[in-house]
Amino acid sequence: MSSHPAQDTPKPNLCSTFEQVVERYPDQIVFKAEGGLGKEYRFDEVLQTVRAVAAGLVGHGCIDPCGIGILSENRPEWPIAYLSILAAGGTVVPIDINLKPTEVAHIVKHSGLQSAFVSGRGRKLLDDLGINVDVFSFEDDSSSGWTELTGSEPLMSRPAPSEVAVIIYTSGTTGAPKAVELTHENLLANLDGIFSRLSIGPDDVFLSVLPLHHTFEASCGFLTPIMSGATIVYARSLKSNQIKEDIANNRVTYMVGVPLLFEKMYQSFQRKLATAPVLRRLMFRTLMSLSSATWKLGLKSGRSLFRSVRNRAGLASVRIFVSGGAAIPPKMARFFNLLGIDFLEGYGMTECSPVISFQRPDDIKFGSVGPPLDNVEVEIHNPDNEGVGEIIVKGDNITPGYRGLPEATAELIINGWLHTGDLGRIRKGHLWITGRRKSLIVSAAGKNIYPEELEEKLSESPLTLEAVVFGRAKADRQGEEVRALIVPDLEQLVADGLIAGLDNPDLATINKTVADVVRQVNDNVAAYKRIAAFDVQLDALEKTSTRKIKRFLYKW
């Protein structure tokens, strides 16, 4: 692991930690806008701006317990505003700019925000809602530009480690969002755990793709690299071809993403392979078999075997992909690892700052989410005969609670242990996730059925784009029956010649094809797990901004 300030001196807060990094790498580029084509910021320039803006925030009387909002797309000014708020002794309240207007209004009202940093789009959203808060715009042509928010004397506050640094509104996969408080100590503890597992330094370049308002990207794609002296490039868009161009043009070494992002990359590989000449397809599969065989011996031969493939795909510089936010089919993690890229799956939740566990590059087990971080305790609460129980967590990364919700906090944290609501088991030091406790389906015979297992099997078919599995109470009978809502991959159906085109697709054929997929899954699971009925939906399932399916919309 590269030398890091976290291991040399104590880290009382995020502000002083960032100052230490700047002392080491003052001339290093820390942020690049627009996929590397836009403005660049050096570490020393960022620190100077942060101190000046912090002084301006204090001078304008903006620091109050409600916090200061950030409502913007990903761009370098977003993390600079984040650091400035902390440097002023304030609390950051990130807001997802892709939320519905009513959801944004709820967060502003619930938090009591009086001021916010905004992009042009963010300002328009607030104006359209009639929300009256002080805004500091990132746009150069704005009459209330943030660059004018500067004080006469630069400022860098020294918040206590126990002070709340950020309030994150959860994405609400199972209902209304809650305001999660995370302290300086929480976030620094999580960074310590990450740094003990990964080697990151000033030669590394991160591509930032996920929305910064979410703690997964904020901790892993923002705080982790800047506290290591690394560079962050903000992707131009979520289009696969532009992401690949941004990776290649900036020699990106790390990318943090959610399964959907990596699934698109995987499917792109598969489509190109399907149309390649027979000899090239045969050679690729032969090399994959060889990479798989040597992998079992503890060797990563894919790095050399597929060097030319990664070069052509624009992924030559990539060392590590990190996937989180939701489960990814093991076949995809296996594919990228055998291709020569360390693909690390992790597990966490906002209330844990967020990382709980992730795989070690030298100890990857497909399907697991790796060992818990070195400074995080994980236990399985009330395990059943198969060792499956609720995952509970303890450590300095654990939230003090939900703002304004003492009862919900008391349900979350019991005797110092945070109850995640997720089900899993621990085998050979690795954590394996089996599902959500609230999503669990209970059969008439009292057997537990994990919908995530069936969703994974449905998604193994190239004809399935996505699926959600849930339990529905039986009429006048005990237990629940297993049902599924399936979104077919229409492009794949066209490619396979099953339907003529995307306009007015043949619904009868689609239903018959999906029925065949369901039948194949049912033939390979125990009788009590079988899907009793399914529906087909052509539109994508509704998701949170981090691409998690909103299960509560589909249960009934």
Structure tokens given for 40: 């660049």
* CATH number assigned to the domain comprising residue 277: 3.40.50.12780
Are 109 and 139 contained in the same domain? yes
Residue 190 domain-assigned? no
pLDDT of residue 391: 97
Distance CA 263, CA 276 (A): 20
In angstroms, what CA-CA distances link 549 with 107, 314, 451, 466, 542? 21, 30, 13, 10, 6
Distance CA 129, CA 342 (A): 45
- Quote the DSSP letter at residue 236: S
Residue 400 domain-assigned? yes
Query: What would the DSSP string read from start to end of 466-526?
Result: EEEEEEEEPTTSSSEEEEEEEEE-HHHHHHTTSSS-SSS--HHHHHHHHHHHHHHHHTTS-
Are 158 and 80 contained in the same domain? yes
Are 424 and 446 contained in the same domain? no
Single residue among 392, 421, 436 that ends a domain in this structure: 436
Taking the model in full, what pTM does it have? 0.83
pLDDT of residue 134: 92
Are 386 and 430 contained in the same domain? yes
* CATH number assigned to the domain comprising residue 517: 3.30.300.30
Total domains present in the chain: 3
> Nearest-CA neighbor of 156 among 67, 48, 64?
48
Structure tokens given for 484: 């599924």
Residue 239 domain-assigned? no
Task: Using the Cα atoms of residue 377, residue 159, residue 136 and residue 231 in order, give the sign of their dihedral.
Answer: negative
Are 409 and 460 contained in the same domain? no
Are 431 and 446 contained in the same domain? no
Residue 150 domain-assigned? yes
Are 378 and 336 contained in the same domain? yes
Instruction: Indicate the residue type of 41.
Output: Y
Single residue among 421, 436, 451 that ends a domain in this structure: 436
Distance CA 535, CA 487 (A): 9
pLDDT lower than 70: segments of the chain: 1-11, 142-143, 151-152, 171-176, 444-447, 475-479, 545-547, 555-556
Single residue among 183, 215, 246 that ends a domain in this structure: 183
Residue 252 domain-assigned? no
Task: Residue 69: give the domain boundaries.
Answer: 5-183
pLDDT digits (tens, 9 = 90+) for 449-469: 878 888 888 988 989 988 999
Residue 221 domain-assigned? no
Are 413 and 524 contained in the same domain? no
Are 152 and 10 contained in the same domain? yes
Are 501 and 451 contained in the same domain? yes
Instruction: Indicate the residue type of 451.
Output: P
> Nearest-CA neighbor of 315 among 341, 296, 294?
341
pLDDT of residue 174: 47
pLDDT digits (tens, 9 = 90+) for 483-536: 999 999 988 888 888 888 888 888 999 999 999 999 999 998 878 889 999 999
Are 424 and 326 contained in the same domain? yes
Residue 534 domain-assigned? yes
* CATH number assigned to the domain comprising residue 103: 3.40.50.980
Residue 198 domain-assigned? no
Residue 507: Cβ-neighbour burial (10 angstroms; 0-12, 13-18, 19+): exposed
pLDDT of residue 176: 64
Are 57 and 143 contained in the same domain? yes
pLDDT of residue 3: 46
pLDDT of residue 2: 46
Instruction: Indicate the residue type of 396.
Output: D
Instruction: Determine which helix (DSSP H) or strand (DSSP E) holds 126, and give its type and residue range.
Output: helix 120-129
Residue 512: Cβ-neighbour burial (10 angstroms; 0-12, 13-18, 19+): exposed
